[in-house]
């Protein structure tokens, strides 16, 4: 950690976060919130519901970082032992607070429930803590100022954690770290490989610092995250300079700036033109429309779609001619084109997307291996099709297909505008 910036760490507590299903996602929210104050998360940990492990981790992290944010294990059940771990780590006592118990009882009452017998466990308060009330749940959090280092302990449920983070921690940081901010900008690229992006922007690292550029690749989409730190005005200016330099190199592979992905790029572009889109999906099974409708306000531009898993649906709902299905097979350029055109005309949209492929794990043949996907875009000026054999498992092939089709749409929209 460099000396000119504050360093933070996240500790998530909960044995369920050490299984093979659930990840600690709170750290993402915390990282995003802290970045606005020029504070970087330099380390993350997850430990189980064990007093010793929690105490050891907190002690370790407080020795290395200026701010430690602990989430989880504050509830009333027997395995919620974070309070005890915190008290042990910083060598403080715990006592029962009548006032907090009353507050907890009121919380239950306000939802028409009686306070369960085990709930008073949440009214155990650590010496010297500032109590953070939980307006979206019940378990209170706490904040400690330890000679300039901050230790914050928040409940695990994201909905509760987020509100307390914004309300209680962030105002603290304004005082704690005045002036310094970290600003960032995300360039989203479609239709490129991570290694090619890396190759083409490599020479800019020396100029702007390798640590200020992150490349995140996700199967057909690459995100370049640029960041700059310092006093707000100069940081923003520096970021503008940086963005121009990167844009000059990336050229038409650049799909958008500060967008969540290619779906948002498409929705924004369509809305700007007052045009509409419809989708026809086979192997992606609705993933493209699901992604498009994640974008708030998608209904202005996205009219709907057809998921045509069976040939019957391709024929009757999309008007793919039976002879085409028979001659070329369901996974073919001809069918992708007919799906895109069919959904465009049936749903009366300006643009149509068609995707058909073999996502696996079975269903491949020598001619048409698992991973083969055809996609097409139909628009006012014609129909365009592409295909590829994607590597990876079912979910990876679907993700590649989704991004490839949305990228083709974006490029056709851009070409159409010129």
Q: Which of residues 236-275 bind a copy of itself (CB under 8 A)?
A: none
Residue 390 DSSP one-character state:
-
Is residue 224 near a copy of itself by the rule CB under 8 A? no
* 219 contributes a contact to a copy of itself by CB under 8 A: no
Query: Which residue's CB is nearer to a copy of itself, number 137 or number 140?
Result: 137
Among 53, 200, 275, 345, binds a copy of itself (CB under 8 A): 53
Least distance to a copy of itself from the beta carbon of 107, Å?
14
Q: How many CB atoms lie within 10 A of CB 128?
A: 12
Q: Where does this chain touch a copy of itself (CB under 8 A) — which range of 96-104, 168-176, 359-367, 370-378?
A: 359-367
Which residue number, 97 or 184, has a Cβ lying nearer to a copy of itself? 184
Residue choice 135, 234, 272, 310 for contact with a copy of itself (CB under 8 A): 310
Q: Which alpha helices (DSSP H) does 36-116 contain, by range?
A: 51-64, 82-90, 98-110
Check residue 315 for interaction with a copy of itself (CB under 8 A): no
Dihedral in degrees, nearest 10, Cα atoms 5, 34, 50, 108:
150
Residue 80 makes contact with a copy of itself by CB under 8 A: no
Shortest distance, position 255 Cβ to a copy of itself, whole Å: 16
Residues 47, 66: Cα–Cα separation, whole Å? 20
Smallest gap from residue 130 Cβ to a copy of itself (A): 26
Q: Could you tell me which stretch among 163-171, 233-241, 346-354, 372-380 binds a copy of itself (CB under 8 A)?
A: 346-354
Torsional sign, CA 238, 244, 247, 248: negative
383 binds a copy of itself (CB under 8 A): no
Q: Which of 338, 367, 372, 369 is nearest to 353 (CA)?
A: 338
Quick check: 77 and 118 in contact, CB under 8 A? yes
Q: How many CB atoms lie within 10 A of CB 334?
A: 18
Nearest approach in angstroms of CB 118 to a copy of itself is: 9
- Number of residues written out for the chain: 418
Question: What does the alpha-carbon distance between residue 62 and residue 146 come to, in Å, rounded to a whole number?
Answer: 9
Q: List, in order, residues 6 or more apart from 221 with CB less than 8 Å away.
A: 188, 189, 190, 255, 261, 262, 403, 407
**Is 109 a residue that touches a copy of itself (CB under 8 A)?**
no
Compute the least distance from the CB of residue 334 to a copy of itself, in Å.
Answer: 19
Of 205-213, 249-257, 267-275, 378-386, the segment contacting a copy of itself by CB under 8 A is 205-213
273, 319, 394, 416: which one binds a copy of itself (CB under 8 A)? 394
Interface with a copy of itself includes 167 (CB under 8 A)?
no
| Residue 35 engages a copy of itself in binding (rule: CB under 8 A) | yes
State how beta strands 213-217 and 221-231 pair: antiparallel
Question: Binding a copy of itself by CB under 8 A: which of 5, 51, 59, 79?
Answer: 79
Does 43 sit near a copy of itself (CB under 8 A)?
A: yes
Tokens of 247: 């844009």
Please tell me whether residue 97 binds a copy of itself under the rule CB under 8 A: no
Number of residues this chain uses to bind a copy of itself (CB under 8 A): 83
Q: CA-to-CA distance for 395 and 341, rounded, in angstroms?
A: 26
Nearer residue to a copy of itself within complex by CB, 297 or 382: 297
| Closest distance to a copy of itself from the beta carbon of 367 (Å) | 19
Q: How far is the CB of 80 from a copy of itself (least distance, A)?
A: 11
If binding is defined by CB under 8 A, does position 115 make contact with a copy of itself? no
Residue 163 engages a copy of itself in binding (rule: CB under 8 A): no
Q: What angle do CA 91, 93, 97 make, to 5 degrees?
A: 150
Q: Which of residues 269-308 bind a copy of itself (CB under 8 A)?
A: 279, 281, 283-290, 292-294, 296-299, 302-308
* DSSP-assigned letters across all residues of 96-136: E-HHHHHHHHHHHHHTT-PPPTTGGGGGEEETTPEEE--SS
Which residue pairs, CB below 8 angstroms and at least 24 apart, start in 30-34?
30/69, 30/71, 30/165, 33/165, 33/166, 33/169, 33/170, 34/8, 34/67, 34/173
* The one segment of 34-42, 100-108, 143-151, 233-241 that binds a copy of itself by CB under 8 A: 34-42
Query: Least distance from C-beta 222 to a copy of itself, angstroms?
Result: 12
Q: Which of 15, 200, 257, 345 binds a copy of itself (CB under 8 A)?
A: 15
Q: What one-character DSSP code corresponds to residue 173? A: H
């Amino acid at each position: 950690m460099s000396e000119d910036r504050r360093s933070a760490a996240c500790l998530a507590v909960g044995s369920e976060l050490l299984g093979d299903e659930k990840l600690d996602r709170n750290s993402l929210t915390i990282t995003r919130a802290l970045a606005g104050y020029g504070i970087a998360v330099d380390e993350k940990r997850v430990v189980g519901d064990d007093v010793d492990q929690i105490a050891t981790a907190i002690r370790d992290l407080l020795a290395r970082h200026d701010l430690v944010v602990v989430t989880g294990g504050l509830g009333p059940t027997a395995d919620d032992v974070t309070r005890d771990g915190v008290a042990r780590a910083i060598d403080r006592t715990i006592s029962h607070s009548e006032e907090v118990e009353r507050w907890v009882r009121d919380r239950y009452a306000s939802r028409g429930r009686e306070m369960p017998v085990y709930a008073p466990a949440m009214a155990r308060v650590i010496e010297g803590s500032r109590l953070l009330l939980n307006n979206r749940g019940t378990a209170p959090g706490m904040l400690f100022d330890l000679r300039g280092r901050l230790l914050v302990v928040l409940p695990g449920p994201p909905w509760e954690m987020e509100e307390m983070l914004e309300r209680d921690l962030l105002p603290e940081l304004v005082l704690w770290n005045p002036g310094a901010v970290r600003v960032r900008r995300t360039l989203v690229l479609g239709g490129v490989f991570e290694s090619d992006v890396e190759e083409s922007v490599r020479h800019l690292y020396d100029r702007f610092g390798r640590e200020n550029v992150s490349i995140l690749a996700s199967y057909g989409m690459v995100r370049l995250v640029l960041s700059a730190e310092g006093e707000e005005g100069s940081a923003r200016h520096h970021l503008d300079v940086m963005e121009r330099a990167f844009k000059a190199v990336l050229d038409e592979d650049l799909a958008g700036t500060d967008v969540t992905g290619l779906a948002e790029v498409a929705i924004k572009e369509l809305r700007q033109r007052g045009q509409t889109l419809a989708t026809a999906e086979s192997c992606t099974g609705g993933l493209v429309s699901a992604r498009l409708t994640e974008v708030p306000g998608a209904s202005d531009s996205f009219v709907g779609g057809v998921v045509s898993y069976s040939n019957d649906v391709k024929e009757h709902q999309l008007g793919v001619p039976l002879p085409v299905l028979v001659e070329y097979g369901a996974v073919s350029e001809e069918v992708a084109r007919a799906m895109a055109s069919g959904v465009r005309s049936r749903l009366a949209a300006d643009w149509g997307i068609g995707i058909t492929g073999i996502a696996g794990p079975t269903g491949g043949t020598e001619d048409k291996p698992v991973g083969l996907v055809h996609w097409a875009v139909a628009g006012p000026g014609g129909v365009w099709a592409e295909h590829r054999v994607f590597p990876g498992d079912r979910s990876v092939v679907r993700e590649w297909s989704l991004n490839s089709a949305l990228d083709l749409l974006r490029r056709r929209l851009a070409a159409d505008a010129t």
